[in-house]
Amino acid sequence: MFQDPGEAALARSLGIETVGPKRAPQAPLAGLAARLKQHFPQLSDGDARDLAGAWANKMFPEAKAIQWWDAGLGPHDSATAAALVAQGIKPEHLAVRIDGQRIGAVLRGGASAARIAGLLRRAGAL
């Protein structure tokens, strides 16, 4: 219901009888979403919440996700991190240099997790 008679008249002319309840403000970010926003401040709060869910769905606790981010993966790379883990690759492996190139750069160049694992094994780093 509209309290102000002018607002009520305007609303009736627009075919609006009542106003729905106000949306409650969203709770502040917490946990993994807050850490995502801290590491990647360009993310919106909504994106941070969504991406935190993606990392959590891939079974990454906050501390492990942070290790991957610090190693060079981005907020959208939860599936990549999961594929790397499945190959036995750890965040610290992304800093390994093989033939003068960091493994993280090879990964960013489009190499698959299996290819990365092969390179690391051949170099004796995995």
Q: How many folded domains does the chain comprise?
A: 1
Q: Quick check: helix, strand or coil at residue 9?
A: helix
Distance CA 90, CA 97 (A): 14
Q: Does the residue 7 lie in any domain?
A: no
> The pTM is what?
0.78
Q: Does the residue 79 lie in any domain?
A: yes
The per-residue pLDDT for range 108-119, each reduced to its tens digit, is 999 999 999 999
Q: Does the residue 25 lie in any domain?
A: no
Q: Does the residue 103 lie in any domain?
A: yes
Q: Does the residue 80 lie in any domain?
A: yes
Distance CA 97, CA 51 (A): 29
Q: Does the residue 11 lie in any domain?
A: no
20 pLDDT higher than 80: no
18 pLDDT higher than 80: no
